[in-house]
Amino acid sequence: MELPTVSGQELALWRDRAKQDAIAAGVSPDEVDWLLEEVADLDKLSLRLESFKERSQIPLKQPLSVLTELWQQRLQDRMPVQYLAGVAPWRHFSLKVATGVLIPRPETELLVDLAVRAIQASPTPDLASGYWVDLGTGSGAIALGLVEALPNATIYATDTSAEALAIARQNAIALGFGERIKFCQGSWWSPLEALKGRVSGMVSNPPYIPTSEIARLQPEVARHEPLLALDGGSDGLDCIRHLVETAPDYLCPGGIWLIEMMAGQAKQVVQLLQKRGCYDKIQIFCDLANIERFALAYRC
Ligand SMILES: C[S@@+](CC[C@H](N)C(=O)[O-])C[C@H]1O[C@@H](n2cnc3c(N)ncnc32)[C@H](O)[C@@H]1O
């Protein structure tokens, strides 16, 4: 199907107006350019230098009238721009997203690097080539990071959300990893009974926001991201507690347990791991904003 087109001049006028409206609504005007990169396939340089203005025809994935409606949704409904564009950048992937999945966050990218470092730091042989699981896969981001970083591993990804799994599967196929990630619907480990005692590593970014705090999050998150991806119960630790409790049945000796958590949860997560009595070398890592964000442990 032929794409709609617009002249560079017309698009420049639309962009200026959209940026002014963004500023008036307290939204970063840079998001306009991010949206244009996605829907008009313009690169950062041509947007910064405004060289696109000279072009007589710029193909758009959506007509300008639809873009205007989308931008109004961004400003009035506080719909995140990634949902409007239908994609989110994560590591060097461009992942499909929709309102049924959490928008993968930049800090979560570090989980993949931490998993690789944990393997390198471990005396247990063959951890890089065994079974790895991403529990609560959402868009499939972590599973995709792992499959690329661990070329000899077999990756399983679970989620209770059928909508999330459908998107994760599409992302895996689009990136050429459809054969290497096995997606299973179900709660945490429950679809993976057959892997008991054999898993080299578990990575998860579970829901960890205390229920009472969700309504106070930015409207972009509270109104539009799936509650199932956010709500960690009364103290935010329900899912993490479950993963501490259940993982020892599935991890091989020396296997890696690695999660993302919220600021302020590190001390309690360390206590939970210690109390379980099946983990050693428990460590906390910070994200790029220096927030204690990740907990790592090895199955004894
Ligand atoms: C914070 S999101 C993380 C999504 C993705 N891994 C990421 O980092 O962008 C948590 C995910 O856990 C899933 N989830 C919630 N409860 C679950 C459960 N009982 N079993 C498996 N997945 C669950 C949600 O559907 C959501 O996709």
Atom of ligand 1 nearest to the CA of 134: 6
**Do 129 and 198 contact (CB within 8 A), yes or no?**
no
Mean pLDDT estimate for the chain? 97
Q: Are both 218 and 153 inside the same structural domain?
A: yes
Which pLDDT score is estimated for 232?
Answer: 98
Q: Are both 160 and 39 inside the same structural domain?
A: no
Q: Are both 17 and 127 inside the same structural domain?
A: no
Q: Are both 257 and 128 inside the same structural domain?
A: yes
Domain boundary (54, 76, 98) is at 76
Nearest CA to ligand 1 atom 9: 104
Q: At 87, list the tokens.
A: 């994609």
Nearest CA to ligand 1 atom 27: 138
pLDDT higher than 90, residue 258:
yes
Map tokens 């460590």 to a residue.
283
> Any known ligand binding at 264?
no
Q: Are both 49 and 115 inside the same structural domain?
A: no
CA 126 / ligand 1 centre spacing (Å): 28
Q: Are both 71 and 139 inside the same structural domain?
A: no
Residues contacting ligand 1 via CB (< 6 Å): 102, 104, 108, 135-139, 141-142, 158-161, 164, 187-188, 205-207, 228-229
pLDDT digits (tens, 9 = 90+) for 39-49: 999 999 999 99
> Any known ligand binding at 205?
yes
pLDDT digits (tens, 9 = 90+) for 131-162: 999 999 999 999 999 999 999 999 999 999 99
Domain boundary (23, 54, 76) is at 76
Which pLDDT score is estimated for 26?
Answer: 97
CA 139 / ligand 1 centre spacing (Å): 9
CA 208 / ligand 1 centre spacing (Å): 10
Which pLDDT score is estimated for 194?
Answer: 98
Q: Is residue 167 part of a domain?
A: yes
Total structural domains within the chain: 2
- C-alpha 243/C-alpha 209 separation (Å) is 16
> Any known ligand binding at 56?
no
Q: Look up the CATH number of the domain holding residue 261.
A: 3.40.50.150
- C-alpha 49/C-alpha 218 separation (Å) is 32
Residue 94 vs residues 41, 68, 77: alpha-carbon distances, Å = 13, 23, 24
Domain boundary (76, 98, 116) is at 76
Q: Are both 24 and 110 inside the same structural domain?
A: no
- Calculate what percentage of the chain has a pLDDT beyond 90: 99
Confidence of residue 2 (pLDDT cuts 50, 70, 90): confident
- C-alpha 256/C-alpha 250 separation (Å) is 11
Q: Are both 115 and 257 inside the same structural domain?
A: yes
Q: Are both 210 and 154 inside the same structural domain?
A: yes
Q: At 25, list the tokens.
A: 């609504």
Counting ligand 1 atoms within 8 A of each CB, the residue from 137, 146, 155 with the most, and so the one to mutate, is 137
Q: Is residue 117 part of a domain?
A: yes
Q: Is residue 86 part of a domain?
A: no
pLDDT higher than 90, residue 82:
yes
Q: Are both 15 and 129 inside the same structural domain?
A: no
| CA proximity to 133, closest of 205, 228, 237 | 205
CA 221 / ligand 1 centre spacing (Å): 15
Q: Is residue 99 part of a domain?
A: no
3-state SS assignment for residue 34 = helix
pLDDT digits (tens, 9 = 90+) for 182-201: 999 999 999 999 999 999 99
CA 2 / ligand 1 centre spacing (Å): 37
> Any known ligand binding at 63?
no
CA 152 / ligand 1 centre spacing (Å): 25
> Any known ligand binding at 208?
yes
Q: Is residue 151 part of a domain?
A: yes
pLDDT digits (tens, 9 = 90+) for 70-81: 999 999 999 999
Q: Is residue 85 part of a domain?
A: no
Q: Is residue 223 part of a domain?
A: yes
Which pLDDT score is estimated for 273?
Answer: 99
**Do 216 and 164 contact (CB within 8 A), yes or no?**
no
Range of the domain at 279: 106-299
- Calculate what percentage of the chain has a pLDDT beyond 70: 100
> Any known ligand binding at 139?
yes
- C-alpha 58/C-alpha 3 separation (Å) is 9
Cβ-based neighbours of 97, under 8 Å, separated by 6 or more:
82, 83, 86, 87, 88, 103, 104, 139, 167
Confidence of residue 233 (pLDDT cuts 50, 70, 90): very high
> Any known ligand binding at 159?
yes
CA 51 / ligand 1 centre spacing (Å): 42
Q: Is residue 101 part of a domain?
A: no
Is the CA virtual torsion 95, 98, 100, 102 positive or negative?
positive
Length of the chain, in residues: 300
Nearest CA to ligand 1 atom 19: 187
Atom of ligand 1 nearest to the CA of 138: 27
Q: Are both 161 and 25 inside the same structural domain?
A: no
pLDDT digits (tens, 9 = 90+) for 104-115: 999 999 999 999
Q: Are both 182 and 117 inside the same structural domain?
A: yes
pLDDT higher than 80, residue 1:
no
